[in-house]
Each structure stands twice: as structure tokens, then as C-alpha cells.
């Protein structure tokens, strides 16, 4: 089934964007934490970092570990009662139970982009409630772009460096573009594109494919700079939670191959995600 048919049959969870002028106070607190983590990442980025391999052969650097500590300390300060599922802590076997409400943290999404020094890496924090992401923040410190969104409150972006003051940020509200009948722009992974993705792109009348690293792919769709992001390769919940929250807040959707919203808190399967599609709404 081609993409347009799939989404007309499965309209899923696309919502209209709200008309707030600025992110709310709680969202701004998460933004501040990502800026602090991003500042430390950029210090290590400038100095260079040793690369190690985790048990699953994925790379990890000093920046991953240092940023995660800053985020965990920050979340403990603003919301000590809520559990945090974080990538590096999980890799080390420190996994709290995923209750109805918890945070997901990827301190350095796009470690391969960090290592290759192309700048396309991000800091990610998501808040999950009853299996759905209700708030998310993504900061790309090397390119100075910060994205955030929350349920029923809208999605926003600003250009800001990690060492700049958040209170001086000039925010712009984001809304996904409508899914067009022609001229479809898809975004696909720069480091993890597979044969199934290539086949899907070839079969779905895509006019242009933009390559991007990390959770920036979600952000490009949320900002209306692309329409689609198919993902068949492996991802974890901390890779997608923040981007999922931002997409939905901007009016788009994230669904699995059966047309259901991507769910969270899948602790029994190690927080692995199934294949999913990110899309602008059809109308």
C-alpha cells in the first residue's frame, strides 16, 4: 500500500496546532536543561573525545555520559518524583520501572554524527504519560537550533547557542505543512538508512529526499521543511520520544505500520520501537 492510501485509511493522531505565543514554564525548564547539557557537549566536541563501544556495539563518548549526568541532575531538581529512563543509565543496567508518567532521555542522539563532526546531533528530553509523549525538547547545539512542544500547547523553535540566555530567545511557533499530492519531501537517516527504507522511498512518489542525522528528522517535519519520515531500522524510545511529542504538538502524527500511534513504556521489550512513519496531516 502506498503512503497516501495508508494515511487516508489510518488518519491516526494528527491534531491542530494551538495558538500560544510562547512555550509554557514547565517546557522552558526542560529547554534550560538541554542548553546546559548542550554547552558541555560542545566543550567536549571542541576538545575531542575518546570513543568506546557499548555491549550492543553502539558508540559512546565522554559527551554522552557528561550530558546525561547534567540532565539527570536537572530533572531531579525540577521534578524529583518522576522516574527517568535514560540511555546510558539503561545501558549500565540502571533502569527504573516505567510508571504511567516518566521521562525519556537521550543525552546525545546521533553519536555517530558527533564522532564524524557533521553537527547533526541533539539533546533529547521527553515526558511520557499513559504511554504517549506529552512534552518534548530537542536541542541541536552545534547548529544552534532548539525545538520544543507539548500536548495542547503547540510546538516552537528558536535559534540559540548553548551559552546564550534562554530568556533572550526569540520563539517562533511551528506547524507541519499539509501532506501534498505532489512534491513530497521525505527525510531519511544519514547514518542508518537501510534497503527497506530505500525501497519504500522509491515506491511512494517522493520528489526529494533530505538526509539528516539524529532526531532532527522529526524536527524538519514539525517545522514544515519536510512532509514524511519513514523509519524501518531499529530505534529506542529515547530516540523518538521528544520528536514524537513535538510532531504531535505541531499537528502531525507518528504511527506504526498498523496505523496506531507509536506507544511508550515498552519495558518488556527493552524499550525497542517497531517500524514507524512520521507524517504531516493529510488535511
Cβ-contact 147, 222 below 8 angstroms: yes
Residue ranges of domains in the chain: 3-19+175-279, 25-173
The predicted pLDDT at position 13 comes to: 40
Query: Which residues are bridge partners to 139 per DSSP?
Result: 123, 146
12-16, 139-143, 253-257: which range is least confident on average?
12-16
Cβ-contact 184, 230 below 8 angstroms: no
Could you give the CA distance from residue 226 to residue 213 in angstroms, rounded to a whole number?
A: 14
Could you give the CA distance from residue 259 to residue 38 in angstroms, rounded to a whole number?
A: 35
Q: Please give the DSSP secondary-structure letter assigned to residue 82.
A: S
The predicted pLDDT at position 12 comes to: 41
The predicted pLDDT at position 48 comes to: 83
Predicted confidence (pLDDT) at residue 176 exceeds the cutoff of 70: yes
Mean pLDDT of the chain: 90
Cβ-contact 261, 134 below 8 angstroms: no
Could you give the CA distance from residue 223 to residue 174 in angstroms, rounded to a whole number?
A: 5
Predicted confidence (pLDDT) at residue 23 exceeds the cutoff of 70: yes
The predicted pLDDT at position 19 comes to: 46
b/e per residue 249-271 (b: at least 16 CB within 10 A): bbbbbbbbeeeebbbbbbeeeeb
How large is the average pLDDT for residues 54-62? 79
The predicted pLDDT at position 187 comes to: 95
Q: pTM for the complete prediction?
A: 0.91
**pLDDT, tens digit (0-9, with 9 covering 90-100), for 229-274:** 999 999 999 999 999 999 999 999 999 999 999 999 999 989 999 9
CATH number given to 25-173: 3.30.540.10
The predicted pLDDT at position 194 comes to: 81
Entry field: residues in the chain:
283
Cβ-contact 265, 238 below 8 angstroms: no
Q: Which of 114, 99, 102, 96 is nearest to 241 (CA)?
A: 102
Q: Which of 117, 115, 30 is nearest to 64 (CA)?
A: 115
The predicted pLDDT at position 20 comes to: 56
For the sheet with 253-256, list strands across it. Answer: 206-212, 184-189, 228-231, 276-279, 253-256
Q: Please give the DSSP secondary-structure letter assigned to residue 182.
A: S
- At the topology level of CATH, where does 3-19+175-279 sit? D-Maltodextrin-Binding Protein; domain 2 (3.40.190)
Highest mean pLDDT among 13-22, 107-116, 256-265 belongs to 256-265
How large is the average pLDDT for residues 162-178? 95
The predicted pLDDT at position 77 comes to: 98
Query: Quick one: angle between helices 62-78 and 25-47, nearest 10?
Result: 160
Q: Which residue has the higher pLDDT, 31 or 283?
A: 31
Cβ-contact 253, 279 below 8 angstroms: yes
Amino acid at each position: 500500500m502506498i503512503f497516501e492510501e495508508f494515511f487516508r485509511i489510518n488518519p491516526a493522531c494528527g491534531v491542530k496546532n494551538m495558538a500560544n505565543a510562547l512555550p509554557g514554564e514547565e517546557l522552558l525548564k526542560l529547554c534550560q536543561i538541554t542548553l546546559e547539557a548542550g554547552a558541555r557537549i560542545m566543550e567536549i566536541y571542541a576538545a575531542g573525545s575518546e570513543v568506546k563501544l557499548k555491549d550492543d556495539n553502539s558508540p559512546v563518548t565522554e559527551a554522552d555520559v557528561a550530558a546525561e549526568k547534567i540532565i539527570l541532575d536537572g530533572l531531579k531538581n525540577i521534578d524529583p518524583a518522576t522516574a527517568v529512563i535514560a540511555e546510558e543509565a539503561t545501558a549500565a543496567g540502571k533502569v527504573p520501572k516505567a510508571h504511567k508518567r516518566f521521562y525519556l532521555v537521550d543525552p546525545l542522539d546521533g553519536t555517530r554524527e558527533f564522532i564524524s563532526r557533521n553537527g547533526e546531533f541533539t539533546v533529547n528530553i521527553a515526558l511520557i504519560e499513559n504511554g504517549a509523549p506529552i512534552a518534548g525538547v530537542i536541542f541541536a547545539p552545534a547548529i544552534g537550533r532548539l525545538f520544543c512542544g507539548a500536548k495542547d500547547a503547540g510546538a516552537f523553535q528558536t535559534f540559540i547557542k548553548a551559552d546564550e540566555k534562554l530568556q533572550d530567545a526569540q520563539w517562533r511557533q511551528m506547524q507541519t505543512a499539509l501532506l501534498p499530492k505532489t512534491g513530497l519531501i521525505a527525510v531519511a537517516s544519514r547514518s542508518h538508512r537501510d534497503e527497506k527504507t530505500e525501497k519504500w522511498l522509491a515506491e511512494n512518489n517522493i520528489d526529494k529526499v533530505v538526509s539528516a542525522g539524529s532526531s532532527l528528522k522529526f524536527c524538519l517535519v514539525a517545522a514544515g521543511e519536510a512532509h514524511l519520515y519513514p523509519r524501518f531500522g531499529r530505534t529506542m524510545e529515547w530516540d523518538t520520544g521528544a520528536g514524537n511529542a513535538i510532531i504531535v504538538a505541531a499537528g502531525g502524527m507518528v504511527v506504526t505500520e498498523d496505523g496506531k500511534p507509536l506507544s511508550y513504556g515498552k519495558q518488556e521489550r527493552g524499550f525497542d520501537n517497531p517500524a514507524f512513519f512520521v507524517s504531516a496531516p493529510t488535511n
